[in-house]
Amino acid sequence: MKTFSIAKSRRLRSTPYTSRIEKQGVTAYSIYNHMLLPASFGSIEDSYNHLKKNVQVWDVAGERQVEIIGNDAAELVQLMTCRDLSKSRDGRCYYCPVIDDKGGLINDPVVLRFNKNRWWISIADSDVILFAKGLAIGNKFDVNIFEPDVNIMAVQGPKSFKLMEKVFGEKIKKLKFFDFDYFDFKGTKHLIAQSGWSKQGGYEVYVENTSSGLELYDHLFDMGKEFDVKPGCPNLIERIESALLSYGNDMDNNDNPFECGFDKYISLDTEAIFLGKDNLKKIQSEGIKKKLMGVQIDAKAIDVSGSIDLKDENNNKIGELRSGCYSPHFGKVIGIAMINKPFWEVSQTVKIEINKQTFDGKVCDLPFI
């Protein structure tokens, strides 16, 4: 694929860490919530192998927050997601599909509950803030909605736990998965959650004090030398192997949460009031006609910059590949695909054209690992 440079502007925001990661050797960017998101530091495969054994620090400031505060904050957040939050508790993160009135996905954020009247929606790539404001205005909710100046850095990988303990002390060992709390770094409190966009374990630091956050960024590299710390970013190979779905790539507003395998986050049998509930009940009753599955393809390389048709032995389209990469673990291309009914059965054979060559493959379950 031909590469192009990015023309930076006010519409395409740098992050507080951009100057640092450029000195550290970032080789590609993606765009996420109108902000630069590092996409590689050289070889994606080398970074994949390093992430699975060591620790990396990621600039994921593009994962923006929508802050909702006010007397009706809990009601608004619940209206946006099909997951029942009535039993949610303070200091906890919740994976919450955001849907519209038809049941179509708008985003799949992590929601942080500070208290009943204050929430952060940590969004994937889409303008959820406008959706939230529209609902608030239309329902005359008593809320204030804005994007706080928060710039996340992630510390990911199996050695992240030792590094963070070295920096923040034993207290951080008590932080459970998807819980968050405040931890002191040289007199500044930083909100830290045990979370992140990898299956290798780690933390996300929600930096509100930029100067302290930059000092922390540098300190993590100084303290992490014994753990072979390196700069990194969400890794395509690790993401696909782990089936960590990407909104805008693997799913979009034309898909509903049942089709994406989010059944356990769809609370149709509760008192929760949310958009699209009746339509989701209808979809559940009628059954879905497509769903996300894995595919394994007998090829050594692929570049997915858009959906690629998957066909059966009679050359009929049976689905589309939405994300894909070469997996060194499997020695072949793997991907996440939306497969039409009834072709989503495991071991269903598929054909795909890559660079004008046809390759064979088969449908499989997610995740791969």
Q: Return the number of other C-beta atoms located less than 10 Å from residue 175's C-beta.
A: 20
pLDDT of residue 1: 59
DSSP 262: -
pLDDT for residue 258: 98
Give every CB contact of residue 171 below 8 A, 6+ residues apart in sequence. 183
pLDDT, mean of residues 192-204: 97
pLDDT digits 0-9 by tens, 26-81: 999 999 999 999 999 999 999 999 999 999 999 999 999 999 999 999 999 999 99
User: Do 344 and 324 touch, CB atoms closer than 8 A?
Assistant: no
Domains and CATH numbers, the chain: 18-63+150-240 (3.30.1360.120), 289-369 (2.40.30.110)
Nearest to 195 by CA among 212, 216, 181: 181
d(CA 78, CA 89): 14
- Buried (b) or exposed (e) across 268-293, using 16+ Cβ within 10 A? eeeebebbbbebbeebeeeeeebbbb
Note if the bond before 342 is cis, omega within 30 degrees.
yes
pLDDT value of position 275: 98
Q: What average pLDDT does the structure give for the chain?
A: 96
Cβ–Cβ under 8 Å, residues 194 and 175: yes
pTM summary value: 0.96
